[in-house]
Chains A and B, each alone.
Chain A
């Protein structure tokens, strides 16, 4: 059990900004902090659940049909999340819409199952799942903060910038693409600077 498995997802191997996985939901749900947080929580739950599930079953799953088995494990946890949100947070469930069931085809889950959980112990996979889920959530929250603040002048729906004339484009699709492009460039710049310093 290594604590490095937990922290690598936050920055060094951040799933969204460094590995560029799970782009679709990150753009679709970062228009407000509320949906970004809900999506992040859903991803943490599914990522931890499927990582542990796949890791537990890794000796039983035959190699030839492993992807199909991973999908069954992942979709179990996605369905739990979907039903939970529908029952307790119907408004959020309606706003996020199909992006909750679409976690099934999110490359983060399948990628972690294939690259990590199917080869490592349950404890390491658990930490990896938490780390990757939290790293993704941090990325979502960063995008959500920038987009909601600049596009609506609010945080979690509360106006914090009185007299600010919001740039509505930031909460619409073009703003999402633009911001992600700039953030990816920023993270690449940080990496290049670090590599040059070494």
Chain B
């Protein structure tokens, strides 16, 4: 994997196809937890960690179990069987990915609670929300498209997961900074809270459109 490819994935996921502003993924936590910068940073880092680890797990499961001619399928059912030829991807991918992510998040929560209580107190409240964050399942699905030619390699998938999470964190932090200022404004009653947050996101997305064409 060349340095250029790594650079393209990182810059692409941070700025050009930012998960929040260009791909519309992870909007619930984005508007829900972006009221204070400290909350935004905690949520962003927790999401980045889960996205990177989920990329490893789902990519491994996909290439060893779900794909047509996956090693485990061939070993269990034989290379000529129908299951090995067609793979389980079309039928089981969504279910397996979401259960993997949910189980992983649960494990991390239990581990932190028992071993690193300080970190658990800081990040614990965000963890249950991450399972249903569509950015996590989204990056897992984007890493492993059905067309084998478009499939990312494992290192590429991890880099994409991390970069996408950092892009999410960046936009969350920017948004939290803006919202802390908005709180002090004398806005018309109906526009307060969520509506003005989305209008600001629109303006931010407009600014990020300037990065189009960089990659």
Task: Tell me the complex Cα distance, A178–B191, Å.
Answer: 12
Residue of B nearest to A106 (CB): B134
- Give every chain A residue within 8 A of B91 (Cβ-Cβ): 79, 83
Residue of B nearest to A110 (CB): B132
B93 x A101 contact (CB < 8 A):
yes
Task: Tell me the complex Cα distance, A72–B191, Å.
Answer: 38
Q: Does A192 contact B (CB under 8 A)?
A: yes
A27 x B209 contact (CB < 8 A):
no
A177 x B93 contact (CB < 8 A):
no
Q: Does B138 contact A (CB under 8 A)?
A: yes
A98 x B138 contact (CB < 8 A):
yes
B190 x A192 contact (CB < 8 A):
yes
Q: Does A142 contact B (CB under 8 A)?
A: no
Residue of A nearest to B136 (CB): A105
**Binary CB contact string for chain B from 67 to 92 against chain A (1 if under 8 A, 0 otherwise):** 00000000000000000000000111
Given contacts A105-B133, A181-B195, A182-B199, contact A176 B24 (CB under 8 A): yes
Q: Does B184 contact A (CB under 8 A)?
A: no
User: Do most interface residues of chain A lie in helix, strand or loop, or is the interface mixed?
Assistant: helix
- Give every chain A residue within 8 A of B94 (Cβ-Cβ): 75, 78-79, 82, 101, 104
B196 x A181 contact (CB < 8 A):
yes
**Binary CB contact string for chain A from 31 to 53 against chain B (1 if under 8 A, 0 otherwise):** 00000000000000000000000
Residue of B nearest to A183 (CB): B195
Task: Tell me the complex Cα distance, A28–B200, Å.
Answer: 18
Q: Tell me the minimal C-beta distance from B78 to chain A in angstroms.
A: 25
Task: Tell me the complex Cα distance, A177–B138, Å.
Answer: 19
- Give every chain A residue within 8 A of B22 (Cβ-Cβ): 173
Q: Tell me the minimal C-beta distance from A187 to chain B in angstroms.
A: 8
Q: Does A172 contact B (CB under 8 A)?
A: yes
Q: Tell me the minimal C-beta distance from B12 to chain A in angstroms.
A: 15
Residue of B nearest to A20 (CB): B194
Q: Tell me the minimal C-beta distance from A103 to chain B in angstroms.
A: 9
Task: Tell me the complex Cα distance, A176–B23, Å.
Answer: 11
- Give every chain A residue within 8 A of B195 (Cβ-Cβ): 181-182, 184-185, 188
Q: Does A107 contact B (CB under 8 A)?
A: yes
Task: Tell me the complex Cα distance, A182–B198, Å.
Answer: 8
Q: Tell me the minimal C-beta distance from B204 to chain A in angstroms.
A: 8
Given contacts A98-B141, A184-B198, A188-B195, contact A71 B98 (CB under 8 A): yes
A68 x B102 contact (CB < 8 A):
yes
A105 x B203 contact (CB < 8 A):
no
Task: Tell me the complex Cα distance, A42–B209, Å.
Answer: 30
A175 x B99 contact (CB < 8 A):
no
Within 8 Å by CB of B24, from A68, A104, A173, lies: A173
**Binary CB contact string for chain B from 83 to 117 against chain A (1 if under 8 A, 0 otherwise):** 00000001111110011001000000000000000
Within 8 Å by CB of A174, from B93, B194, B209, lies: B209
Interface residues of A in 155-193 (CB under 8 A from B): 169, 172-178, 180-182, 184-186, 188-189, 192
- Give every chain A residue within 8 A of B142 (Cβ-Cβ): 98
A24 x B24 contact (CB < 8 A):
yes
Q: Tell me the minimal C-beta distance from A82 to chain B in angstroms.
A: 7
B interface residue numbers (CB < 8 A to A): 21-28, 31, 90-95, 98-99, 102, 131-134, 137-138, 141-142, 189-191, 194-203, 205-206, 209
Query: What are 7 A-B interface contacts by the 8 Å CB criterion?
Result: A75-B94, A76-B95, A79-B92, A105-B131, A173-B22, A177-B205, A181-B194
A interface residue numbers (CB < 8 A to B): 20, 23-25, 27-28, 67-68, 71-72, 75-76, 78-79, 82-83, 86, 98, 101-102, 104-107, 110, 169, 172-178, 180-182, 184-186, 188-189, 192
